[in-house]
Amino acid sequence: MKLNDKTLVFFGAITALLVVVLTVLSAYSFRSFSLFMAERHARSVAETVKVGLTESMINGIIGKRQQFLARLADVPGVQAVRVVRGPAVVKQFGAGLAQETGADASVETVFGSGREAFEVRDTDRGPIFHAVIPYVATDHGMPNCLQCHTVANDTVLGAVTIDISLTEVRQQGIIAVILVSVSVLGAALLGLLFLRRMLKPLSETAEAVKGVTTLAVGGDFGKRITQRSSDEVGEIAGNINRLMDFLECEVGTIRDRVGQLMGQHAADGGNQLVHTAEMVEGLVEAFQFKQAIEEDQNKIEIYQRLAEVLEKKYDYRHYSLYEVASSKNHMTPIIVDGEVGGGCRWCDQQVLVDATACRARRTGREVNGVDMPGICTMFRPTAGENHICLPINQSGTAGAIVQIVVSPEEAPLAKCMVPFVAVYLREAGPVIEAKRLMEHLRENSMRDAMTGLYNRRFLEEYVTQLVSGSQRRKAPFSVLMLDLDYFKQVNDTHGHEAGDKVIKALAEILVRNVRASDMAVRYGGEEFLMVLMDTGAEAGMQVAEKIRGEVEATKVALPGMVLQKTISIGVSEFPGDSETFWQVVKFADVALYQAKTQGRNRVVRFAREMWNEDGHY
Q: What is the DSSP string of 273-285?
A: HHHHHHHHHHHHH
Give the model's confidence band at 162: pLDDT under 50 very low, under 70 low, under 90 confident, else very high. Answer: confident
Contact 577, 480 (CB under 8 A): no
Beta strands in 74-188 (DSSP E): 78-85, 117-123, 126-136, 156-165
pLDDT value, residue 406: 92
Supply the pLDDT for residue 3.
Answer: 62
Confidence of residue 597 (pLDDT cuts 50, 70, 90): very high
In angstroms, rounded to a whole number, what is the distance separating the alpha carbons of residues 373 and 406?
A: 12
Q: Point out the least confidently predicted range of 82-86, 121-125, 351-355, 529-533.
A: 82-86
Report H helices in 354-479. Answer: 359-363, 411-445, 456-473
Q: pTM to 2 decimals?
A: 0.47
Task: Report the pLDDT averaged over residues 389-405.
Answer: 88
Across 188-192, 247-251, 586-590, least confident range: 247-251
Dihedral of alpha carbons 151, 155, 158, 160, sign:
positive
| Mean pLDDT, range 122-141, rounded to an integer | 80
Burial of 118 (0-12, 13-18, 19+ CB in 10 A): middle
Q: Which domains does the chain have, with CATH numbers?
A: 3-171 (3.30.450.20), 218-294 (no CATH), 296-435 (3.30.450.40), 454-610 (3.30.70.270)
451 close to 522: Cβ distance less than 8 angstroms: yes
**Residue 514 binned pLDDT confidence (cut-offs 50, 70, 90):** confident
pLDDT of amino acid 68: 66
Mean pLDDT of the chain: 81
pLDDT band at 592 (very low <50, low <70, confident <90, very high): very high
- Quote the DSSP letter at residue 143: S
**Phi, psi of 70, deg, nearest 5:** -65, -40
Q: State yes or no: pLDDT of 596 exceeds 90.
A: yes
Task: Specify the pLDDT at position 112.
Answer: 79
What's the pLDDT score for residue 56? Answer: 66
pLDDT digits (tens, 9 = 90+) for 291-314: 888 888 788 888 888 999 999 888
- pLDDT category at 127 given cuts 50, 70, 90 is confident
Query: Is 90 exceeded by the pLDDT of residue 589?
Result: yes
Q: pLDDT, tens digit, for every residue of 459-475? A: 888 888 888 888 988 99
Q: What is the pLDDT of residues 238-290, one digit of tens each?
A: 888 888 777 777 676 766 666 666 565 555 555 666 667 777 777 777 778 88
Omega into 143 within 30° of 0, i.e. cis? yes
pLDDT higher than 60, residue 614 = no
The pLDDT-based confidence of 143 (bands split at 50, 70, 90) is: low
Which ranges of 263-309 would DSSP assign to H, the alpha helix?
A: 272-294, 299-308
pLDDT of 72 over the 70 cut? no
| pLDDT tens figures, 545-572 | 999 999 999 888 888 888 889 999 999 9
Residue 96 confidence (pLDDT): 64
Structure confidence at residue 120 (pLDDT) = 86
610: DSSP letter: G
Q: Taking 60 as the threshold, does the pLDDT of residue 174 lie above it? A: yes
